[in-house]
Amino acid sequence: MTATGSHTIVAVVGARPNFPKVWPLLGALERCPLGRPILLHTGQHYDAAMSDQFFRDLELPPPDVFLGVGSGTHAAQTARTMLAFGEYLEQSPAELVIVVGDVNSTLACALTAAKMGVPVAHVEAGLRSYDRRMPEETNRLVVDHLSDLLFTPSADADQNLAREGIPAERVHFVGNVMIDTLKAHLPRARERWRELAAALDLERQGYLLATVHRPENVDREEGLVKLLDILQSAAQRLPVVLPLHPRTRERLASFGLLRDIEGNAGIRLIPPQGYLAFICLTENSRLCLTDSGGVQEETTFLGIPCLTLRENTERPVTVTRGTNAITGLDREAVLGAVEEVLSGRQKRGSIPDKWDGRAAERIAEVLAAWFAA
């Protein structure tokens, strides 16, 4: 399938966090003279039920290209993606490759395109945790330095890129495409509340929502034991709704901890949720506890307090401007922050600049001018 405009643009997705980031781009580019790009799914993380639910919720078109690279070690996954994407570009030359976020597919496709002389645009550029233990941090650094166009979600991202010597003319502060998707789908997400509330026996503002999946938190028994203790203690104050990521469930089972959490009446384990259901659960929660990057942004926009169970964040604007606080797995810090929220003493955040639902439009305008030049 070819692009509908006069330029051949390939937009890459590889995992669930990429889908909400690419959704507004497809529409914005289709509305401008460039036309809808070719949607290429690497299949980095592919679970039919989970991926299909996201595509339905976002009303994304089926991928034009599916590479089916599958999971594996970082090296194996990146290598397979590079091989498959390189073969695709040889058969179907492109004028621009758009990558989003920081997953392995983002790195692999950006590196392959750059080596083949195809310009790269990176959406969500400039984010830095300054923690090289995170594989995503390596991906961000490499992709940004390979990219011809860097679209940033916040002013701190521009500052990061300037410190690294990336020419200012490549960098464009456009805002957060995740918020474009959130604003557009919020009315439909709100329609899910009655169903979810009945199924889970929930009241608005009457529960905590938790998500945990990062390797540094769940791959070691010590980290998981700390997490369980935090969640079980928090559940004594309000019920905890926990959509259980497959990685987390596997680790809990392997360490013999799954029965402990399944047997806790205050913790409601549910399967991974689609986009609309998760946004609905987020907006109606009293507080979110998470190690996810996207949840930090969504809670900031929705005005929901958020505790990030990590030692750092690549999204500091959610702390300086938003509703987010960094606690790590410090039990006293987490539970103290929970008490502050429940007593109504949480900080009041604000929405960062250009998180207005028009980021993708700004990207389309920059791309149109770039092609014209």
Neighbouring-strand partners of residue 210: 289
Annotated active-site residue in 122, 172, 213, 245: 213
Q: Write out 21-76 in H/E/C secondary structure.
A: HHHHHHHHHHHCCCCCCEEEECCCCCCHHHHHHHHHHHCCCCCCEECCCCCCCHHH
- Per DSSP (E only), the strands in 93-228 are 96-100, 120-123, 149-152, 171-173, 208-211
The dihedral built from the CA positions of residue 206, 211, 217 and 219, taken in this order, carries a sign that is positive
Region of 144 on the Ramachandran plot (φ > 0 left; ψ -120 to 50 alpha; else beta): alpha
- Determine the Cα angle at 256 with ends 254 and 262, to 5°: 110
Q: Is 74 a catalytic residue?
A: no
Alpha-carbon gap, residue 240 to 317, rounded angstroms: 26
Q: Helices (DSSP H) in 235-292: which residue ranges?
A: 246-254, 258-262, 275-283
Q: Are strands 287-290 and 306-308 parallel, antiparallel or unpaired?
A: parallel
Six token digits for residue 188: 């439909």
- The DSSP result for 280-307, as a single string, is HHHHT-SEEEE--HHHHHHHHHHT--EE
Q: Are strands 240-243 and 306-308 parallel, antiparallel or unpaired?
A: unpaired
The residues assigned a catalytic role are 213
